[in-house]
Amino acid sequence: MTITTRHDIEDFLGRKRLALVGVSRNPKDFSRGVYAELCRRGYDVVPVNPLIKDIDGVPCFSRLQEVTPPVAGALIMTPAEKSEQVVHDCAEAGIDRVWLHRGSGQGAVSKAAVDFCHERGMRLVEGHCPFMFLSETPFFHRLHGFFLKLSGRYPARPH
């Protein structure tokens, strides 16, 4: 079993062209907040959702294999039952850095998706929310990280 480290997270967030898979049609959905915040911070975020034409004028792709130019990583915010197909799409598109989002509950994390990523040697952030690791995030996200530290589930820095 591989455990996500801060190095994995920093490596992922160090990539500036990322896909956000599962971004919602609903402008008030949490995924749209993540999308907007990453864009605000200078990331080139490519929205991926087969049910949306565009987000705020930015073209939305149906599948990762259609994204051009390619992205350096994929933040997956789909329901867990869809994440296995999405990580297969990542592999087919040549994306080897994957973040399976989890704020609470299961999120996008599924055993099948995690196992596939490990079998393929993909760099995986298993669970967690990017807001916990971005500088100057709102108090709620820092509090979430604090509680994970108390419980021993906050990603450690490698020794």
pLDDT digits (tens, 9 = 90+) for 118-150: 999 999 999 888 887 776 665 454 554 554 554
Check residue 138 and give its pLDDT.
55
Check residue 127 and give its pLDDT.
84
Structure tokens at 99: 């973040």
Check residue 131 and give its pLDDT.
80
Check residue 22 and give its pLDDT.
96
Give the model's confidence band at 158: pLDDT under 50 very low, under 70 low, under 90 confident, else very high.
low
**Is the pLDDT score of 1 beyond 50?**
no
Check residue 4 and give its pLDDT.
82
* Rounded Cα gap, residues 21 and 63, in angstroms: 8
Looking at every residue in the chain, the average pLDDT score rounds to 86
SS3 of the chain: the string is CCCCCHHHHHHHHCCCEEEEECCCCCCCCHHHHHHHHHHHCCCEEEEECCCCCEECCEECECCHHHCCCCCCEEEECCCHHHHHHHHHHHHHHCCCEEEECCCCCCCCCCHHHHHHHHHCCCEEEECCCHHHCCCCCCHHHHHHHHHHHHHCCCCCCCC
Give the mean pLDDT of 99-109.
Answer: 83
Give the mean pLDDT of 41-64.
Answer: 95
Check residue 107 and give its pLDDT.
85
Radius of gyration of the chain measured on its C-alpha atoms = 15
Check residue 106 and give its pLDDT.
74
Can you give the pTM of this predicted structure?
Answer: 0.86
Query: 99 has which bridge partners?
Result: 75, 125
**Is the pLDDT score of 3 beyond 70?**
yes
Quick one: CA torsion of 72, 54, 76, 159, rounded to 10 degrees?
Answer: 40
Range 6-151: architecture per CATH: 3-Layer(aba) Sandwich (3.40)
**Is the pLDDT score of 151 beyond 90?**
no
Check residue 87 and give its pLDDT.
98
Check residue 2 and give its pLDDT.
57
Structure tokens at 68: 């051009």
The domain spans of the chain are 6-151
